[in-house]
Amino acid sequence: MTATYLAAVRDDGPFVYPIPRHERLDGNSFVKWQHHRWLASDMRLMATFEVKGMARDLFDLAQTQSPPGTLPVDRGVIARLLGADAHHFDGLCRLPYGPLRGWQPCVTEDGETRLFHPVVLEQIRDAFDRREAKALANNAKAIAARRDRMVAALRSMGCDEEMLADEVLIDRMDNWLTANWKRRREAVAYQKALDHAARQGWLGRPRPEGWAGPKRPV
């Protein structure tokens, strides 16, 4: 069993931090603080109150650094970030449960050596994942609202309900307008989209008898 464990361990060099420098946690994002995890940790149980306060501050300070979730390797600089005496901070770091316990060296994408904490990295990634999911959801809502407005405009222009229910057609026309119409969408914009759809053969469904096409804007 020991041999299997050793065989699974590879020395691939320093850990490359996965979050680039340009990423930032803006004011609309937050990093979860898992208090149950903290309360059950050895750091919380074994460290002094002073060390625990510093450790908690470092978790928060790391979110403001570049890349987010990292710290500089220089203890003097870290002490300055904490507003602590550098000599005193260095002494605390030599304790079995010091303020930098769990922080490990890593290399950024541009080759700088910094410190990261696996728990902090996990929480930073979660914050970015939630921010991306929110942005995608907002974008989907914006697209749906834009297409609803287009359907309403086409209906007022005389397009039949069968055409308006054609989601593929509406998607194509919306995408064409997004790429080719950079102004406010008004009746003339939707007419141009209809004309383009006709030229492309997108209006291939049979129309009700007597349908003369959409009304052109005046």
Q: Are 217 and 157 in contact (CB under 8 A)?
A: yes
Tokens at residue 56, please?
């908690």
| Sheet strands side by side (includes 15-16) | 15-16, 104-107, 113-116, 70-71
What is the amino acid identity at position 134? K
Helices (H), 11-74: 35-39, 42-46, 49-62
In sequence order, which residues have a C-beta less than 8 Å from that of residue 151 and are 6 or more positions away? 164, 170
**The predicted structure's pLDDT at residue 135:** 76
**pLDDT tens, N- to C-terminus, the chain (218 residues):** 333 333 344 456 789 999 988 887 765 556 677 788 888 888 888 999 999 999 999 999 999 999 999 999 999 999 999 999 999 999 999 999 999 999 999 999 999 999 999 999 998 988 888 887 777 777 888 888 899 999 999 999 999 999 999 999 999 999 999 899 888 888 899 999 999 999 999 986 544 444 445 555 44
The whole-angstrom separation of Cα 93 and Cα 83 is 15
Residues 100-106: contacts with CB within 8 Å, 24+ apart? 100/58, 100/75, 101/43, 101/47, 101/55, 102/43, 103/58, 103/71, 104/15, 105/14, 105/15, 105/73, 106/14, 106/15, 106/16, 106/17, 106/70
CA angle 16/18/38 to nearest 5° reads 100
Tokens of 59: 């978790």
